[in-house]
Amino acid sequence: MRFLPLAILFLTTLFVSHQARAQWIIGGFMQGHRKASLAIIGSQESYSTYFINKTETKNPNLGTVTTQALTAVGTYGLGYDLDLIVAAPYIRTEASAGYFPKQEGFQDASATLRWEAYDYKLGKKLRLSWLFAVGYSMPIQNYVNDAMVAIGRGSKNWDGRTMLHLKGKSFFITGQYGYIRRGQVTLDHVVNYYDPSQLNPNSGSKVNVPDVTEIIVRGGYVNTWLNLDVWGQQQTPYTKGTDIGPGIPFPTNAVGFTRVGATAYLRLAKQFGLTAGYNTIIDGRNVGKNSQINAGLVIGHWTANN
């Protein structure tokens, strides 16, 4: 078991997030010792239909909500079995109708440690890895969190997950399970339209953001110059939450969704590549039924070559 003392130190220190938007960050390919990469990814997503609980709804006073983001993701191999991944997005979101003011700013910065605990050879062509990851995210700035149009929920989150990663000569499949622990947030106003004892005994303007669990399965084709994969993500509320409604704070809503997507990476040179992807929500709870396109530039070591 490599780097065990260091890994235990980190697990002890950080045990308990990984931000939902950044599902591409945590994969099964390790970065490699003292190897680094930087990805700058632009994305745009929009929805005109959203779920109240699990019922699809359109609101002419909201129109289409469009969110654009620019995210920087840095990865560094602290060891050949331990990576540090950091990310920070700048987000702008606005509605095409109504009087919801546009929101813009830095959202939540995150830092994640990924540890490849075991690596097995299966025959001559297969390798099976068992990985763990722990992360923490928090708002970079004090943005509006209780609005139909907001760039985030404003909570501080812990994320713990485990992964199994199977890689052959030209294919891979990764399955992971995660638990995201979300903290309290302070709203911009006092809440008195629902029973606070059901969500937060402290009442007032502080409310709990429901925890969630997450399952992600990703598989695809990989060679020296190209990576194509498809993936599915299911996020499920774990703790009690509310449904979208009059007087209900948005951060207390129990959010869940099923999202499917595909990602492509093209290596143009040894330390330079392009990435692009598409994903869409096919089912959800208290969330916009959005679709996203993204594209970005990756500088540095490409992890799939390990």
Average pLDDT of the residues of the chain? 86
pLDDT bucket at 103, cuts 50 / 70 / 90: very high
Angle (CA) 299-91-189 rounded to 5° is: 150
- Per-residue DSSP letter, 53: T
Taking Cα atoms as reference points, which of 265, 259, 256 lies closest to residue 295?
265
Q: What is the rounded CA–CA span in Å between residue 120 and residue 166?
A: 10
Distances (CA, A) of 44 to 47, 59, 108: 11, 21, 17
Does 23 or 48 have the greater pLDDT score? Answer: 48
Model confidence at 25, pLDDT cuts 50, 70, 90, reads low
Q: Quick one: pLDDT band at residue 27, thresholds 50, 70, 90?
A: confident
Contact 210, 252 (CB under 8 A): yes
pLDDT at residue 54, as a whole number: 96
Mean pLDDT for the stretch of residues 230-257: 91
- Position of tokens 């990814």? 41
Q: How many residues does the chain have?
A: 306
> 302 or 130, which is more confident?
130
Joined together, the tokens standing for residue 92 give: 């702008």
Whether pLDDT at 187 is above 80: yes
Percent of the chain clearing pLDDT 70 (strictly above): 85
Choice among 140-154, 168-182, 192-206 with the minimum mean pLDDT? 192-206
